[in-house]
Chain A
Amino acid sequence: MESLKKILGVVWILLAVVTAYFCVFEFGIPKLYTGHQEDLVFGIIILCILTPIISIGMAVFGYFALRGEYAKKKM
């Protein structure tokens, strides 16, 4: 189980990258150019607030997992 926790750390880091890509290129930037003010505000919030929280948070979580911070003896 301890090895699995570490290996999955890589998965969470990759997931953070995928999430960042999706948030920025599929969801955030296109919203800036729709011409609707509502979309513009939402796009800015996605890019400046949601993406950093979700992606950086997930990446740090993955890094901690990879480093073995969630091993039973360290909890």
Chain B
Amino acid sequence: MNNAKKTLWKVIGASSLGTLIEWYDFFIFGSLSIVLSTKFFPADNPTAAFLSTLATFAAGFVVRPFGALFFGRLGDLIGRKYTFMVTLMLMGGATFLIGCTPSYESIGFLAPLIVLLLRLLQGLALGGEYGGAATYVAEHSPEGQRGYWTSWIQTTATFGLFISLVVILLTRLLLTEAQFDEWGWRVPFVLSIFMVYVSYLIRKNMDESPEFKRAKSEGKTAKSPLRESFGNTYNLKFVLLALFGAAMGQGVVWYTGQFYSMSFMKTVMFLDTDQADLILGIALLLGTPFFVVFGKLSDRLGRKWVMLTGMLLAILTYRPIYEAMYQLTNIEKKTEQADLRRQTVMAKETAAGQILEETITKYFTDGTTVKHITTSMPALAQDGGTQDEAVQFKPSQKTTVLISGINYVCLVILIFVQIVYITLVYGPIAAFLVEMFPVKIRYTSMSLPYHIGNGIFGGLLPAVSTYLATNAQLQGKVDFYLSGLWYPIGVAGVCFIIGAIYISKSMNANAVKP
């Protein structure tokens, strides 16, 4: 391996590790949201619940694009390396401090307030990190190989989610449920500081990107990156094209494959939570290498059609894929082994009275197991109970499905296919965005469309899809569970048309003139 290639691998390693850690930090908050809500945001307290909502929405929708602008400007003024060092430290520090923050029980309102501020800092840091890392790697890459080298950065978002799931799963396995609930949930947050420190040590010895160094030595850096990026019609039209012709579709395909699929498995298919996490984990692991495959392919075929192929496949196949997923746990089409059916009733004594938990377990010929768990309070049922008892106890019904054999394999494949779509659209996009803008405003100009595409168009997916599915259910549509898909299909469809018509192959080769 020659020296240039060795240096490039060091650049990739340093950049990817840092970005991976940032995604990990961002995702553990979401993955542990249920535990966090009990520790910091008690639902019965309206102010804490309000802060929780802000933490959920503001970090993704508001702060990420703002972070892209703030750090993008900084990166175009003082350099890529120092800027993404700052974002790394900011993210690591915020994550570590979330793990150290005393709970609501200990310090009251201060706890949710601190966590909200730290979550906003996380969003800010993430908004600045990605553009910096992608730009830094692209500016080190040889001409004609940017797709391949930047695709390593692209693996980090998916891999970050995977690592966050693994760390949480391992922590749960190593501790008892009580230990995890008491202090164990802090471990994934605290761990982050060690990872960030290692990444910091690696990154601090790296050089500034050669293209930025050259531009700086020639006095060609931007004086006002924000004005030059968005106040200049010539450049603004490329920012809008990057958003509506690429990032918007990429955002919804990414969110559908990684998050909507998980939510669909858990809330529509009623799949067991651990099984759903594991299936997604396997699919992520199998799919991740394809980021590099399609990044490299985009160097040969051009970025445009690799990305648009991913979008088109998603548009055409999302509904059949989700229909097939739904049918895998649809017990109406399965044959029950009635003689194996089991029914158990467990009584639990609580301060409010006796709670009965009735479990009916059904076994099906294809290996599917379905558990219906009903909890009730007989005293309440008989005399209506007191006001306090009624508040404390809510009867519930829960269905959990476990699949096995061919059904399990089929589900892994169906999720894997969606991950491959993600790799098609996401693998080449860093190189595509970097090549669209000139060095002097690259960090600012590419970061904003990326974070609006992902944070806003992708982030809206759960809310809009739930709205569409609920409306369809109210209208009595038989396949209401597929209606939520019209949002990613519609957004990706518009993006596909814009990308196909307005993005030209020559556009990337000619970096935008100032």
A residues engaging B (CB < 8 A)?
1, 4-5, 8, 12, 15, 27, 37-38, 41-42, 45, 49-50, 53-54, 57-58, 60-61, 64-65, 69-70, 72, 75
Contacts and interface: CB of A to CB of B under 8 A. Distances in A.
Given A37-B46, A37-B50, A61 B240 contact: yes
Contact of B501 (A1, A37, A54, A64): A1
B49 interface: yes
B214 interface: no
SS class, residues of chain B in contact with chain A? helix
A69 B233 CA distance: 9
A49 B64 CA distance: 12
Contacts of A4: 501
Contacts of A54: 456-457
Contacts of A50: 61, 456, 460
Interface residues of B, number: 33
7 closest A-B pairs by CB: A61-B240, A41-B53, A38-B53, A64-B237, A69-B237, A70-B502, A75-B507
Given A8-B501, A57-B243, A61-B241, A75 B506 contact: yes
Nearest to A27: B467
Given A37-B49, A72-B504, A75-B507, A45 B58 contact: yes
A53 B506 contact: no
A53 B501 contact: no
A65 B236 CA distance: 12
Nearest to B50: A37
Interface in B65-120: 65
B127 to A, nearest CB: 14
B57 A70 contact: no
A75 B504 contact: yes
B482 to A, nearest CB: 20
A65 B507 CA distance: 16
Contact of A38 (B49, B243, B502, B504): B49
Interface in B338-368: none
